[in-house]
Structure 1
Amino acid sequence: MTPADIRFSVAPMMDWTDRHCRAFHRVLSRRARLYTEMVTTGALLHGPRERLLAFSEAEHPVAVQLGGSDPAALAEAARIAEGFGYDEINLNVGCPSDRVQDGRFGACLMREPGLVGECVAAMKATVSVPVTVKCRIGVDDQDPEAALDALADAVVRAGVDALVVHARKAWLQGLSPKENRDVPPLDYDRVVRLKRARPGLPVTVNGGVTSMAQARRHLDEFDGVMMGRKAYSDPAVLLAIDPELFGEPAPVADPFAALEAFAPYMARALAGGTRLHSLTRHTLGLFNGRPGARAYRRHLATCGMRSDADLATLREAVALVSRELPEAA
Structure 2
Amino acid sequence: MARAVDVPALVEQARAGRPRAVARLISLVEDAHPALREVMAALAPHTGNAHVIGITGSPGVGKSTSTSALVKALRARDLRIGVLAVDPSSPFSGGALLGDRVRMQDHALDPGVYIRSMASRGHLGGLSWATPQALRVLDAAGCDVVLVETVGVGQSEVEIAAMADTTLVLLAPGMGDGIQAAKAGILEVGDVFVVNKADRDGADATVRDIRHMISLGESRSPGDWRPPVVKTVASREEGMDELMASLDKHQAWLGETGHLRERRLRRAADEIESIALVQLRERMGDLRHGRGLDELAAQVVDGHQDPYAAADSLVAAVTSDVDHVQ
Query: For this structure pair, what is the TM-score category when the shorter chain's length is used for normalisation?
Result: 0.3 to 0.5
The TM-score normalised by the length of structure 1 is 0.33
Greater percentage in helix:
2
